Every structure is written in C-alpha cells, then in structure tokens.
Structure 1
Amino acid sequence: MSLTPANLLNRFRALDAFLLAHQPLWRPKPFTELTLPWETAHPDLAQWLRTRTLDQAETEHNHPERLAAPAPYPALAAQAAALSAVPSLPTGALQPCPPRLKVDVPGRKWQQIEAFADALTFQHPVTGWLDWCAGKGHLGRRLLQPGQNLTCYEYDPALVEAGHALSQHHQLSAEHRLQNVMAADCHLPVDKTAVALHACGDLHVRLLQRAAADHCRQLAIAPCCYNRTEADQYQPMSEAAAASNLRLSRDDLGLPLSETVTAGARVRRQRDQSMAWRLGFDLLQRQARGTDQYLPTPSLPSAWLAKPFPDYCNDLAQLKGITLPPATHWPAAEAAGWHRLANVRNLEGVRNLFRRPLELWLVLDRALYLQEKGYEVRLGLFCTSHLTPRNLMLLAQRPKA
C-alpha cells in the first residue's frame, strides 16, 4: 500500500528532523574538500573508509546501507532506510498494447513506461490524456485506449513533428502541440488526466502548479532532476516545507541524482578517469596557487581524456589562467589523483545515506502541496531501483463530488 494522505505529513516531519540534525554529514562534498569536517568527530569511521579501494566503493555505491562500517554508520544507515521506506503502488491498470508501439523506444525506457502505466489507478474514468513534456509521445501512446484521446505538450519542434508522424502511422487520436510549458499561455484541460514521467525540475513543478490552478481532475508524475531549476535556492511548495529550517542550494538538490544504475563498463571507466584526473589536477592547482581551496573547472569534451595526463593538466591550467609547478613528477601526480578518487568514493558512502531521505523529502513537499490544493494524494514506488532510481510516483485526484 502507498503512503496514505494521513501519514504524509508525519513522514515529512521525521525526514526533516533527520536531515537537519545531520547536515554536517551530507552537505560537505568529498570531491571538493581534502578533509571533511565530520572526520574529526568520527575518526574511526573516516580512517576505515580511507583504507578502502575504488572497487570496494563501487560495490556499495547503490546500496550504501549495506556497508559494514564503524559507528555511527550502522545506526545512521538503519534510520535512513526506515525513513526512506516507501511501498510499491498497486498494479494492474495496464491493458495490453500492440507490440509495434514500442518499436524505436529504448528497452529500458519502454520498461519504465510500462511500469508507470501499470500503476495508474484513478477513481475518475479517464477520457483523455495529457502527456506533459512528451518528447515524441511514447508514454501517451502507450496509455491511449479506445474511446480516449491524447494531447502531447512538447517544446522541441523536431520532437513534435516526429511524434505526430508516429501517431499518424499508428492511426491514433493524438494531438502533438508545440508548447512551452513554462509560458503564461500554458493551461491544462480540466477533463484530461495529466501524466509526466521524469520531467525535470521546474518542468514537473510547473505541472503541479498548473494542475492546481486549472482544477485538473487527476494527474500522475514521477519527478526527476530536482536541481534543474532557475532558482539558486530551493523554493518550497508546501506549507510544511516553507516552515522548515532546512535550506537547500541547487547543489544540494543534486544529491539524489548521484545514484546511477545504467552506465556501462566503458562509460564507468571514462567517468573514473575523468574524475581521477580532475582530482590530480586539483592537488596541483592548490600547490600552484598556494591556497588549499578547490578550483571549479569547466565541463570538458571526452577527447581531452585521450591526451597524456601532463598535457591534460597543463591545458586545463591554461584555461584557468594558472601555471603548474614546472618540476611536477607526473606519474606521482596522476597516481595521487587515483588514490584521492578512491578516498572520495568511499567517503561519499556517508553522504549517500542521505540521498533517498532528501529525495523523499522533496517528493513529499510536492505531495503536501497537492493536498493543500484539495487533492487526494498517494505516493509509492512504480518500479524497482534497478530499472530507474527515480522510481517514486505521485498520483493525485480531486475527490468525487
């Protein structure tokens, strides 16, 4: 059973207290700080984590709660897991569809669509769907049943055109509308059920705001990318979040997104090399500048990783307007970067305990906002984390008259 309307606020308050109490553990980023403030208070835990390898860190990346680390880690892990527990939503809403609909849709994406669709249970009959930030409209077409109609809102003209062609090819009653959902002229038809699968940041927030303002009867969203927002600081939606003392930066909002499950071996190797080289460069730039502070660097094309490590560092230094020490021992500098990457990944195990609590705090803020606007709200999982870590789903509907 999903989280019920009665206990949404209680769970939010418990998560709020947990996150506030342990800010020193999850706010500092091992990637940018050589020593974390909490290491002084928990030296045994810090020393244990710093002795572990990069491979060991990778093993527990998606399940930090399983790490057999010294205190206070086990107690924190248990509390984080209990506060983050969310049951799966009831399924059985999905009707069979022609296999041709999933042609040209990536397999994992289609599985997410299927899982999302199977959890869509509403009190009010669905007469039409509104696919928000629809792309080519794959989700909307999967949901469409005989006697229903579909409207897709999409900002990219090429995707609108491609979606229209697909719907025509399948002879479906679908309108693909070029629509900036952030624009003032964007409204929701009251008779349609709005859906959004992984609309990013401000885009899914805008859907909730428009649904409330336009009295949309029912909607369902699986939020994503909470840090994709124009505001530098998080803008609470509900009264409970507005009353909280927790203040979140855009950088803080990226914490829930740090869990990945889809990267292949080549992508992981490239990611690790990029991070190790950046960390090696960071140690060199601290020496060159005579200051123990992290220096932000721009996002670099993957072609940079084909350079020799000395060229990579010197070219990056030139971009930042600094000169590295001329007598640098480059093999040692690169090895230091890889060693630091192992430390970073393992120290991040503490921070990662708070990924899901923070994400659930954010989703509950959205759920409570909808409650305040008169909706009955259910919150639950629509798929396993192996399919996507962004597996929290909100279903909202106005009570029957």
Structure 2
Amino acid sequence: MNLKELLEQYSQALSDSRAFWDIVAFEHTELPWESESTLARVLDDLRLLVDPVWAYESSKASEHPLPFWLIQGIKGRKLSQVQAFIDHVPKHSTIVTEWCAGKGHLGRLLSFTQQRPVVSIEWQSALCAEGTELAQHHRLPQTFIQQDVLAKDGDDKIQQTLRRCQTAVALHACGDLHIRLLEHATEAQIRDILVAPCCYHLIRQGHYEPLSKAAQQCDLRLSKNALRLAAQGLVTAGKRERELRQTELVWRLGYESWRQDHLNDPHYQPLNSVSKAIFSGSFKDFCHWAAAQHEINLSSCFDADYWLERGEQRFLVTEAIEQVRLKFQPYLERWLLLDRAVFLQEQGYEVSLKAFCERELTPRNTLINARARI
C-alpha cells in the first residue's frame, strides 16, 4: 500500500465533499444542501478508498498475568488499553521514553513486563511525584522528568533524553503533544516510535498545519471544527447525559433564535461554557444568563414557550446535519493518520497503521508504528 498516494486520494475526495462536513451545524436553520443524491455519490466515492488501518487482531492472553499489586489504581478500561498497547512494543533491553506520561502507568507496566528502563516525561509535577513513588515502591527502573513538552526552552533537554533511547511511546497524547513527539523523535532518530493519537483539535493554531510535505501540497485544509469531527465517536453516553446534552442544545438554539430575531442579526454568536446545573432550572432563566453574556436585555414580553419551541425545531435540523457530518468522521481521521504516517516515511521510517485494541475499549484505537530504516 502506497501511503502517499492514498493520502492524495483522501485529500481529493474530502475536498470534493467539503460542503457536507466543513460546516457548523449550529449556524443553520435549515439543511445547507439541496441534493441528497450528491451526498450519496460522494459517500460512495469515499467508501471505495482503501482503509489504511489494519484491523485489530486479538493476541493470545499473557501466560503470566500482571500481579494485582502492580495494577492497583489503574481503571479497568485504561488498564486494558495499556496492556493492548504494550503487546505491540518491540522487546529490547534499551531505554524507553514515555511521552506525556501522567502517573506513568504505561511506562511502569512496560518496565515490568519487558524488564527495561523507562524515562517518563510529564509536565505536572504532582503526577511526576506520584509516578516516582510508585516506581520506587515496586523497585522498577522508571524515572520521571518534569517538562512541558510544548515549551521551546525545553527542546534541548528533551533531545538529550530521546537520544539516550531507542523506543518512544505515547498512548493518547492529545493534538500538539503527540505532534511534538513525532517531530522530536524523528530529529533524535529514535529507532521505534509508537503513538496512539487523540484529540486532534487540541492545537494552538486556528487551523491544522499538515506535517508531511505531501499533505502540504494537497488542496485540503482543516479547521478546528473539522478536527473536532475527526475526534468524535466516543463511547456511547448514558441516558441522563444524552438528555442533558439535548436540553442544553435546545436551550442554546432557542435563545440564539430569539437573539437573531431580536437584533436582526443572521450570524451565529457562540456562548461561553457554563455549569450543567443551569440546565436543571428554567429556560427563561437560562435566556437571562445568555442575554447578559451578550450584553442584551431580555425584554419583559419575552415568550419563553415560543422560543423554546423554535429551539426544538432548530435542534432537529442541527441533529440532521450532525448525522451527515458524522458519516465523514472516519475519513477525516484516516487523512490525519495518513499525514502523520507519510511524515514519518519522509523522515526515513517504515510505517504501519493498525488497530491495537477493540474499538469498544476506545474509539481512538489506531497505533502509528514506525521503525527507522537501517
């Protein structure tokens, strides 16, 4: 499979279908497209593209289960993700760098199972202290470095750390964090790089800046709204959470409908985040709060029932648009994965994309596995 050619194919297909996914659903009071047949055609074109991610293959259970004292404090889903990730890490005696380590759960279990030293990089000093205490308690060769990996003044320190290692790992480092690892690790010529990306939208720039030269030459640029779409597909929320989300959307859209009508302003104006407790009160009280955020006085003749009904109608449109946008989610995520994979190839690595665990464990279950060409 030629990943560069595949990246170019995805770029063209996504550019051709931009009208269906590169939109903000909240901003529309009706469906923004006219032809359902065009939607069906562009989706058919996308389905013809090769999926670059190898499907998950279950590995045999370890003959030596991890001792209970080692895994205490690691929640079940997280523990399963860590164990599945470790199954793909090549076994060597060399030092491993664990990126954005938190308390170092991945590094600690990797150090124990493969009997190798681990250097865990984490920016929160409290987590470094907890991780160090756990490593010392279990007598494992795991050390912590407290460092903000996004800070330019720490680049030399990071490069010195990476050049001592032959393997770099990151499980669900968000946005700019895992991008920085790919940049640093390739510069240090780390032999093995294993990254499971997450939260593509957590970047400092307003738009995504492609990593690979191939993607930079393509006519496709992604906004943060598109990056959020690529990272959707979370584990299904509970009934209460779904109901609360619907209430919040209906109320925000109901208020926005009133604001646009009251000010004769067709342009959507976002509201700040607010405690979910406000949605346990009344819609009218919420509108008073929202109007204050926009420095507008809510008129005494405000018809809460009418605008709540408008919000409910607009919610149905928003949901219909989001359902269409979600059909493009896997293709946007594959494009982002391909950009990272091709970037690594351009830096002299053999690269594969594979699912390291079941999607039920985490929707971000793709592993970028790169080995430097000898």
Q: Which residue of 2 aligns with 1:135?
A: 102
SS of 1:83's partner is: coil
Structure 1 residues 21 and 146: CA distance shift in structure 2, 3 A: closer
Structure 1 residues 137 and 84: CA distance shift in structure 2, 3 A: farther
Structure 1 residues 94 and 213: CA distance shift in structure 2, 3 A: farther
SS of 1:216's partner is: coil
Distance 2:149 2:235 in 1: 30
Displacement of 1:380 in angstroms is 1.4
Distance 1:385 1:84 in 2: 19
Displacement of 1:19 in angstroms is 0.4
Asked whether the equivalents of residues 31 and 317 of structure 2 are also in contact (C-alpha less than 8 Å), the reply is no
Asked whether the equivalents of residues 88 and 383 of structure 1 are also in contact (C-alpha less than 8 Å), the reply is no
SS of 2:163's partner is: coil
Q: Which residue of 1 aligns with 2:86?
A: 117
Distance 1:204 1:363 in 2: 12
| Superposed CA RMSD | 2.0
Structure 1 residues 205 and 126: CA distance shift in structure 2, 3 A: farther
Residue in structure 1 matching 2:46, options 80, 86, 109: 80
Number of residues of Structure 1 aligned to a counterpart in Structure 2: 364
Residue in structure 1 matching 2:116, options 139, 145, 148: 148
Distance 1:262 1:172 in 2: 37
Asked whether the equivalents of residues 255 and 355 of structure 1 are also in contact (C-alpha less than 8 Å), the reply is yes
Counterpart amino acid of residue 166 in structure 1: L
Structure 1 residues 202 and 261: CA distance shift in structure 2, 3 A: same
User: Which segment drifts farther, 79-88 or 16-25?
Assistant: 79-88
Distance 1:163 1:372 in 2: 35
Q: Which residue of 2 aligns with 1:184?
A: 155
Distance 1:228 1:179 in 2: 19
Distance 2:262 2:176 in 1: 40
Output the TM-score relative to the length of structure 1. 0.85
Residue in structure 2 matching 1:99, options 49, 68, 72: 68
Structure 1 residues 353 and 142: CA distance shift in structure 2, 3 A: same
Asked whether the equivalents of residues 17 and 42 of structure 2 are also in contact (C-alpha less than 8 Å), the reply is no
Counterpart amino acid of residue 82 in structure 2: I
Q: Deviations over 1:178-232 (max 9, x none)?
A: 1121232322134331110110111000000001111111110011111111111
- 2:125 corresponds to 1:157: yes
Structure 1 residue ranges without an equivalent (≥5): 1-5, 46-70
Distance 1:266 1:118 in 2: 36
Q: Which residue of 2 aligns with 1:25?
A: 20
Asked whether the equivalents of residues 84 and 356 of structure 1 are also in contact (C-alpha less than 8 Å), the reply is no
Asked whether the equivalents of residues 195 and 219 of structure 1 are also in contact (C-alpha less than 8 Å), the reply is yes
Asked whether the equivalents of residues 204 and 223 of structure 1 are also in contact (C-alpha less than 8 Å), the reply is yes
Output the TM-score relative to the length of structure 2. 0.91
Distance 2:181 2:217 in 1: 23
User: Which segment drifts farther, 300-309 or 150-159?
Assistant: 300-309
Distance 2:45 2:79 in 1: 34
Asked whether the equivalents of residues 201 and 228 of structure 2 are also in contact (C-alpha less than 8 Å), the reply is yes
Residue in structure 2 matching 1:245, options 180, 197, 219: 219
Displacement of 1:375 in angstroms is 0.8
After TM superposition, list the pairs within 5 Å mapping 1:192-341 onto structure 2.
192-341=166-315
Distance 1:340 1:395 in 2: 44
Distance 2:28 2:326 in 1: 16
Asked whether the equivalents of residues 152 and 176 of structure 1 are also in contact (C-alpha less than 8 Å), the reply is yes
Structure 1 residues 395 and 190: CA distance shift in structure 2, 3 A: farther
Asked whether the equivalents of residues 351 and 370 of structure 2 are also in contact (C-alpha less than 8 Å), the reply is yes
Q: Deviations over 1:51-75 (max 9, x none)?
A: xxxxxxxxxxxxxxxxxxxx34444
Distance 2:84 2:45 in 1: 29
Asked whether the equivalents of residues 76 and 353 of structure 1 are also in contact (C-alpha less than 8 Å), the reply is no
Structure 2 residue ranges without an equivalent (≥5): none
Distance 2:358 2:287 in 1: 41
